[in-house]
Structure formats: C-alpha cells, structure tokens
Amino acid sequence: MDSSSSLPACLCVLLLTALLPLPAQTNPVSSLQKKFGEARELYRTGQKEEALARALDNQNAALESLDFRNPDTIQGFIELSDMYQRLNRHRDSAEVLQNALRLASEELGEDHPLKALVDYTLGWHYANLADYSRARDHFQKALQVREQHFGRRSAETAEVLNSLAVLHENLGDFSQAEPLFLEALSIQRAVLGDNHAKTATTLNNLGTHYWTIGDNRQADRCFSEALEIRRRVLGRSHLSTATSLNNLGLLYRSMGDFDLARKMFRRVIQTRSEALGPNHPLTLTALNNLALLYMDQKRYVQARPLLEKVVEGRRAVLNADHPDLARALFNLALAEDRMGHFEASGPLAQSSLEMRLKTLGPHHPETAGSYYTLGRLAHRQGRFAEAAGLYNQALQIQMSALGPTHSDTIHTLENLAFLALDQGNRGVALKINDQLWDIRRHQIEKTFSFAPEKQRLSFSRTLNALDLPGTLGDPGRIAATALRTKGVVLDSVLEERRILEGLDDAPARNALQELKAVTRKLSQFEPDSSPHTANGLHPEREDLEEQKQRLEKILAEKTSVERASRSALTLDPESLRKALPPKTALVEFIVFQRSMGRLEFEPALGAVILTRDTPPRWVDLGPLGPVEKEIRQYQRWMRRPVKESALRKLLSALHGKIWAPLAGTIPAGTTRLMIVPDGALNLISFGTLLTPADRLLLEDFQIEYLAAGRDLLRPVSALNTSRALVIFANPSFLVGTKSPAKSSAQNGSLIAPETPLPALPGSLREARLLEKQAPAWGLSPRVLTNTRATEPALASLPPPHILHLATHGLFVPPRPEEEDNSTDPMDRSLLALAGAQNTFNKWNRGVFPDPSSDGVLTAREMASLNLNGTWLVVLSACDTAVGETLIGEGVMGFRRGLTQAGAQNLLMTLWPVKDSETAPLIEAFYSRLVKTNDPARALCEAQREALRKMREKDGFSTAVRTVGPFILSR
C-alpha cells in the first residue's frame, strides 16, 4: 500500500506551490529542494548525522523570514520531520510537525491550505505509527479545509480521500474504504488524467483493498494499471514502481504463481535496498514477502532467517504494539509452527494476538489470523476442544469481514473439517466438504475469468480440492470432485477457444492473432541460455511475458461474458457413467494428501472406478512414495537393457501396488480400460504391468488414456472431409551439411538441445511404407522429408485427417539450480524438424533465430497449430508422451499442445524407440486402424501381435521395451 509519509509529502508541497503566489524575484522552492536533495543523498550514502545536520540548517534557512505564506517554510518543517523519521526518531519528527502546525495556525489561521498540508502530513505520521485515532482527526481537518478551498472534485481533496480510505483499510473497515477509494480515483482521472502518478497511487491502494478482501480480478486490474502508469511516468527503477511490483507479487503469490512472485519480490528488494538501505522498513517488507513465499513452498529453512531479520528490524524502530511488528511476530510463529517448534510458535502467536487486539480490535481479519494460528497449534498438540473454540472465533470474524470465499476463510473451514475427523465426527466433516466445494467452484470461476493459463495452472495447485474427499473416502464425493477439477485448466482453455471461434468479434480475433505472434516471439528466448538481467528476466522477454498475460486476460474476459459458468464445474458423475461404452471401466487415479491426524499429512494414491452399471467405487492405494520410487526405476529400466528377472520383478511389483487392489472392483466381462493417470502415473504404460498369470495387462484389456474423465463428455470439432495422411519423416536436421547417419538412432537418448541429432533412415522407410499402403486404406498420402520437412510447412497445413510425425522428440529437463530462470514446461518438449541442428548450434553461440521457422517445434508452438477436425496424430518419435507432470492437470508437453490444437486422438511414446524397429508396429497399427476405425483397438491388436512375435524371438525384456512405450491418448 502507498502512503505519503516521506517523499510523497514533498511531492504534495510541489503541487501546492504551483497553485499559490510566489515572490517574483526568486524561486525558493527549487533552491530548497536542491538543498534537501543533498541531505537525502547524504542519508542514502550512510552519512546520517551529516544528513540531519544539513536538514536542520535548511529548516533554519527557511524559517529566517518567518513567512508562513511561503510554502518553502512549511517545506522545511516537513523535510526535517521526514529526516527524523528516517532515523527512527519518531518523537522528534512529531514535535517538528506539531510546531509547524502551531505556527501555521497562529500565522495563517485554521482554514489555510498550508495548515491543512501540515495536518495531512501529521495524519500520515500517526497512521504509520498505528495511532489511527489521531491520524483520522488530522485527515478530517485537512479534508475539510481542502474541500472548502479547492472543492470536492479537486486533486487536493482526492489525495485526502485516498488517505482516509487507506486508514479505514488498515482498521478493517472495508465497506467504508472502497467508496472513498473510488471517489478519489474518479476525481483524479477527471482532474489529473489517467497517466498521473497520483492516479497510480490511488489505483495501487484500491488494488490492495480488493486483494485484501479476496477480489483478485479487480486487484489485478488496479495493480497492473498502476504499474503501467508508474513505469511510463516515473520509470522502472522508481520506488513507487517497486511498490506496484511488490503488490502484484503479493497477488500472484496468493494465486500460487510463485515463480513470477519471487522474481518480483527480488526486484523490489534490490530497488529498495539500493535506494533506502537493506534495513529500511520497506526493504524489510519485501524480505518478509519473499519469506512467506518460501513458506508456501515449504522451504522453511530459507524462510526463517529472513523472518527473524524482519522481527529484529521491526523491534528496532516500532513501538511495542505496532501492527507491523505484530505481523512480523505472527509470520515467524507460522514458520516455527510449520517446522514443528511448538514451544517457540505458541508465545509468538500469543504476543501477536495481544498486540492486534489492542491496536486493531477484536473484529479485524488479522486478529482472526492469530486466532487461527493458535487454533492450529492447539490442534497439532491434540487439544481439540481448545482448537475448536479458536477456529470458530477466527471463522466468525472471517465470515463477517472477508466473506466465505476468501482464502483465509477456506483454510479455517478446512482445518475445522480435519478437526472434526480427529474428533470422530465424520458427519460434520462431510458437511464442511460440501460447503467447501461450493466455495471452490466460485473461486475457480472468478479466477479463470481473468487469469492467463499459466496462472490458472498455478492457482489450481493451491486448491487441494481432493485432500478432504480423499481422506473421507466417500466414492461419490471423490468422483464428483475429480470429474469437475482434474484437467479443469485445459478444459477452460478449450472452452474459451470454442467460444472465440463462434464470436463475430473483430477485436477478439485480432487479440487472438496478436497472442499467437507474441507466443512465437517468446520461444526465441528458450532455452535458458539467453541472457538475463540480475533480477532474473531478460528485459525484452519480460515485456513479451507481460503482453502475453495482458492478451490472455482480454480474451478470458471476452469469453466470460458469453457464458454463465464453467460447464465442467457442474457436471455429475452420473452423466459420465452414461457416456461410458459397454464393457468399459474408467479408472481415475488421484494423488492427494491424506490426513494422518493432528494436521499431519502424507502423499497418497487412490482410484475411482466407474462403469455404466455400477456406482462409483473408491480404492485407497496407500502411500504414494513407494509407488513413485518404483516408477522412477521403471523409467530408467525401460531406457536400457536390464536382466529379465529384474524387469519382471519390477513390473510385478507395480502391478501389485497399482492394479491388483483394483482388480476386484472391475466387473467381470470388462474388456476396455479408460485410464486417467495422475502425477507420476502419467509416465508408465499400464499395458506393461505384469499379472500373476505372467501376462501383460495389455493382453487382457484394450487400454486408452484420458487427461480427465470429463474428456468423454467434451464436445469435439467435426471431422474434416479430407482423407489426407500427411507424413513428416527423416528431416534434414543440419541444412547445408550432410547429417551423420546412424541406422538405428535412439531419439530419446538426447537430453539437451546441443546434442548432435543423428539422421533417422528408419523413419524414411516407415514413411515410404505408409505412402505405399495409404491408397489401399482409403487415404491420400503426402510425404515431406529431408529439407521439405520444415516447421512453416507444418504450420501452414490445412487440418489433415491423420498427421504422422516421424522424427526426434526431446524433453529438456529443468535445471534445478536455476530457480528463477527455469523455462515453461511447454517450451521444454521439443520436436526436431528440418534445420533443428542449425538452430541448436546457434543457440549455443547465443544467437536465436525466428522461432516460427527454426525447425524446433515446442509443445507451446504445437498448441497454435490448426488441427481442428484432425482425427489422429501419430508421433513416431521418442519421449513424446513425456513432460512435466502436474497433479490434477496431466502432462505439460506434446499431449497438452496437440489437444489444444484440436487433435482428437494421439499416438505417443513414453520412452525412446528405435526407428529401425518402429516401422513394422506402425504398419500393423494402420492396417488395423482402417478396419476398426478405433485407434485404441488398433493399437491394442498391433501391440499384442508384436508382443507375441518379439517375445518368442528376442525375449521378454526386448519385447516389453519395444512394444510398451506406445500409448493412445485422447
């Protein structure tokens, strides 16, 4: 939040000077400003006593004439008071201002604007000391005089209205704050214009108000506009610009966008440290915000020393009951609590509560926060009755002051539900669960109405929507929650695209085209070898990221007008059951945090099974950790030869942990499985699990994969009438130079773009075989190879019936040491086309060619292809189903990109495949595909036949590793 306690007060004086008569022969304001500028520079460089002495000399010079009609005289008092505040000599600061107020009253009268200026400055002085009663009195006096002299609709009056609104905001009087902010903003827009620094100040403070009460959409609008104004008017390095960045960081942190928030907080810390020093209260505020972000990420060891520094700094300069000190103690109490240091957490939380009761009162949301924290502490220590009382005290305040959809209210409700379970009261927990779903649905709709896709993904990770239902183990509630929330971000993007395509709205179409262009430009800064600033972002990339967010927000708001609510959020499991084909079971795996009691949780795995004829069934599969450990081993062993006995043991163990507990819930006669993986389960081919009967699961079931069970109900684009089979194969990766040839290259062994790309002669044989057979299958083939297999050629294609891409697939893993510079996962899944090696070579030299024709197709770029009506995409390459897995949202990679592009069925791979061994399986797949018109069935039949032959010829391990990676997803 912005105040006017120091530099803004000086700006206020300059504004008044322009309106009052000055002696004709001199310009004392500029001279005095220069002198006080020298004092501030002395302070900035650490010469604090010299700075104070200079400020005293300047004030004395200003007082020599005792001409209080000259604004210069008041300026001297205000600047000296400001210097005392910088030195934490608050009593001296107040004494200077009180003297100025007395002299101004005696010399000018109670109704003079300059006396009102001193009242205004004193108001901020007392507000910053949390003496809100005195602050209100001085603001009201300043308002009365300014309204009398300048009118209600004046910039001077608007400034005081903004300050009074801030005061009400600090006191938790939200209903009184908002109309004052809005009135001040309306006046400033009319009088000063939309590009004035003071307009930005009120916008920023209004944004803080909306963020505090949980209206993130309005907060984002206000913060973003204030930031744009301040950058234009004041510059990127100005302290006020840093304040806007800080507040946007707070908003994005609350939405779960930790990467962007962290970059903003670090930028703010750097700016404030350079301008104000590392121990200034504003610098400490930014440190505090960064520490809280670390807390959100469970990085308590990094958070705690920062919070201790903030407490130490606050104690040094603030009175014992100041709200900022209470906040510092409260946050440190949270850190101690999360680390299990209850003996330290309790006294800190209690001190925070007592200070807040004294300064803010019993009904303030921050007081509720202290009740909540003390309740949490009692809950963790098993004092359940005491915890219930404290939680309910917090909840009563939060419901009244913040409303039921605020995140603070939700946290309290969640803890009350888990407390009820600890007390054996399942009925109460079920009731709260249903209440929480209604709240979360509102939150999702509100956030998705303005947030870009990346922030929706971040926000969805904060929902924890399945933790309570999973712990309760109620099949119907788990099925309903999973149906509505899993993959909800991708669903929202597809829903908006359908709406935009149906809109006769030229601005929306233009924004969509601009968004695609900006997205392509962003690819120029991938991978992370591009230069960055010390603050973590390349300047041009930062601008492009902001443009992209702005355009996505515009389009989200365009589509929000066209629909009442997100269709996914109202679906019922019964509608999904009716959509299931006969003899089919849908198995929706769920990763959740299971309560172990007393607010201790463990990652767990479960599954909901749905069929047409049976109600939802829930199977708790136990702790997630052992399963994830074996999946990591599985991924390693599928990429290299291992002993058959070891592989059999692993596949049997995975079957025992993942599938065997479900077998009894699958009705007899089931022949088809629709599997919705979650988390690490996205990285295994369920068909390779080995049953006790020594059969792979794919031998017993036809298996296909969905990103979410709801996908069965998602409307799809009508198939185009084309029967085109477009094939890209064996691209010339190094154009102009002969590529090194290998007869049996493993694409997936490539772990970084700089690795040389070997030619793929096997993919060329695959392409020629398909080209030859296509007419008999009723398909019209078009083959692009060598230098013709380019990115522009792919991008310009009309949607084919089938798109077949036989080339190298790469997934570049994130660099854990580059916390702030890690790329988006959609930019780390790469498909190599003609010229890709040329591009990799240039990247290594720091040169970044046009991403639209560089031969490197990212999953993000793939999403912008036009594949509406394309029935099938075959990615005959390595690791094309691999990517970064997000719990509840699937795989961030080619799967997501192709789905966004409009493709209906995807044939992909989960580990490296040899191009020399792929062709027979692909041919068998296509020959069955044209007969069955069912991609999942065709793949199943082709895999079973190939498995039988290879198992006899090459052995079990080779057969599984060759046939197993192919999966069919839709």
> Considering the chain, what is the average pLDDT of its residues?
87
Please say if the pLDDT value at position 62 is more than 70. no
- Nearest residue to 589 via CA among 484, 478, 492, 664: 478
Q: Which two tokens stand for residue 116?
A: 């009102």
| Torsion sign (Cα): 521, 526, 531, 536 | positive
Long-range contacts of 182-190 (CB under 8 A, 24+ apart): 182/206, 183/158, 184/158, 184/159, 185/158, 187/152, 187/153, 187/154, 187/155, 187/157, 187/158, 187/161, 188/155, 188/158, 190/153
What pLDDT band is residue 24 in, cutting at 50, 70 and 90?
A: very low
Q: HSE (CB half, 13 Å, CA atoms) of 217?
A: 14
Residues 359-397 pLDDT 10s: 999 999 999 999 999 999 999 999 999 999 999 999 999
Cis peptide before 323 (omega within 30 of 0): no
Q: How far apart are CA 526 and CA 821, in angstroms?
A: 10
Note the pLDDT of residue 503. Answer: 74
Name the residue with higher pLDDT: 398 or 454. 398
State the Cα angle at 674 between 670 and 677, rounded to 5°. 130
Contacts of 856 (CB under 8 A, 6+ apart): 753, 791, 830, 831, 832, 833, 836, 839, 840
745 has pLDDT over 90? no
Token pair belonging to 480? 């309903």
Confidence of residue 641 (pLDDT cuts 50, 70, 90): confident
> Alpha-carbon distance 204 to 223, whole Å?
5
Question: For residue 154, what are the CA distances in angstroms to 16, 71, 159, 718?
Answer: 12, 19, 9, 59
- pLDDT over 90, % of the chain: 64
Paired strand residues for 781? 725
pLDDT exceeds cutoff 70 at 8? no
Ordered DSSP codes for 711-773: GGGS--PPPPS--EEEEEEEE-SSTTSPPPP-TT-BGGG--STTS-----HHHHHHHHHHHHH
Instruction: Quickly count helices (H) and strands (E) in the chain.
Output: 40, 16
Two structure tokens written together for 581? 């084909």
Give which of 161, 165, 167, 195 is closest to 177, Cα–Cα.
165
If one compares 13 and 232, the residue with the highest pLDDT of the two is 232
User: Looking at per-residue confidence, does 364 or 542 come out higher?
Assistant: 364
The per-residue DSSP string of 324-375 comes to HHHHHHHHHHHHHHHTT-HHHHHHHHHHHHHHHHHHT-TT-HHHHHHHHHHH
Q: What angle do CA 495, 496, 500 make, to 5 degrees?
A: 125
Rounded Cα gap, residues 672 and 549, in angstroms: 42
pLDDT digits (tens, 9 = 90+) for 38-56: 766 776 666 777 777 777 7
Strand order in the sheet with 809-811: 809-811, 829-832, 856-858
pLDDT for position 849: 85
Give the C-alpha separation, 604 to 661, whole Å: 14
Extract the tokens encoding 272.
Answer: 């404030």
Integer Cα distance of 663 and 597 in angstroms = 30
Nearest to 289 by CA among 274, 275, 272, 277: 272
Say if CB 135 and CB 142 are below 8 A apart.
no
Task: Report whether pLDDT(562) > 60.
Answer: no
State the pLDDT at residue 751: 38
Per-residue pLDDT, 524:
58
Average pLDDT over residues 766-778: 92
When pLDDT is cut at 50, 70 and 90, the band that residue 67 belongs to is low
pLDDT (mean) for 323-330: 96
Question: Rg (Cα) of the chain, in Å, rounded?
Answer: 32
Predicted confidence at residue 610, as pLDDT, reads 96
Q: Residue 866: name the closest of 823, 890, 833, 902 by CA.
A: 902
Label residue 67 exposed, middle or buried (CB < 10 Å: 0-12, 13-18, 19+). middle
pLDDT score of 744 more than 50:
no
The H or E element that residue 502 is part of is: helix 488-502
Alpha-carbon distance values, 603 to 382, 417, 662, 679, 923 (Å) = 22, 19, 19, 11, 42
Q: What is the mean pLDDT of residues 898-914?
A: 90
Give yes or no for residue 164 having a pLDDT over 70: yes
Where residue 622 falls (left for φ over 0; alpha for ψ -120 to 50; beta otherwise) is left
Q: What is the pLDDT of residues 412-448, one digit of tens each?
A: 999 999 999 999 999 999 999 999 999 999 999 999 8
CB 328 within 8 Å of CB 307: yes
- Quick count: other Cβ atoms within 10 Å of Cβ 793? 15
Q: What local confidence, expressed as pLDDT, does residue 878 receive?
A: 81
> 């694409």: which residue's tokens?
747
Highest mean pLDDT among 539-543, 637-641, 676-680: 676-680
Give CB contacts under 8 A, 24+ apart, made by 348-354.
Answer: 349/373, 349/374, 349/377, 350/374, 351/326, 352/326, 352/327
- What pLDDT was estimated at residue 650? 97
Lowest mean pLDDT among 70-74, 692-696, 703-707: 70-74
175, two tokens: 């209903």
Quick one: pLDDT at residue 692?
96
DSSP structural state of residue 800: P
Alpha carbons 938 and 319: distance in angstroms, whole number: 75
Least confidently predicted of 96-100, 709-713, 814-818 = 814-818
Are 84 and 93 in contact by the 8 Å Cβ rule? The answer is yes
Q: What is the pLDDT of residues 100-135, one digit of tens each?
A: 898 889 888 999 999 999 999 999 999 999 999 999
pLDDT tens per residue across span 544-554 = 777 888 888 87
324 closest CA partner among 83, 82, 3:
3
pLDDT of residue 21 exceeding 50, the answer is no
pLDDT at 934: 95
Evaluate if residue 685 carries a pLDDT over 80: yes
Matching residue, tokens 């973003």: 224
Give me the pLDDT at residue 534, please: 40
Adjacent-strand bridge partners of 673: 585, 703
Give the range among 67-71, 312-316, 533-537, 854-858 with minimum mean pLDDT: 533-537
Q: Which of 305, 325, 307 is nearest to 315 (CA)?
A: 325
Question: How does residue 81 score in pLDDT terms, banded at 50, 70 and 90?
Answer: confident
The 3-class secondary structure across 636-662, one letter per residue, is HHCCCCCCHHHHHHHHHHHHHHHHHHH
Q: Return the SS3 of 483.
A: helix
Q: Residue 532: which pLDDT band, with cuts at 50, 70 and 90? A: very low
The 10s digit of each residue's pLDDT in 606-631 is 999 999 999 999 999 999 999 999 99
Distance from C-alpha of 717 to C-alpha of 273, rounded to nearest angstrom: 55
Tell me if 715 sits within 8 A of 886, measured CB to CB. Answer: no
Give the Å distances, CA to CA, from 474 to 427, 467, 504. Answer: 12, 12, 45
pLDDT (0 to 100) of residue 449: 87
Higher pLDDT: 132 or 519? It is: 132
- Please check the confidence at residue 728 and state whether its pLDDT lies above 70: yes
pTM: 0.87
- Say yes or no to pLDDT of 679 above 90: yes
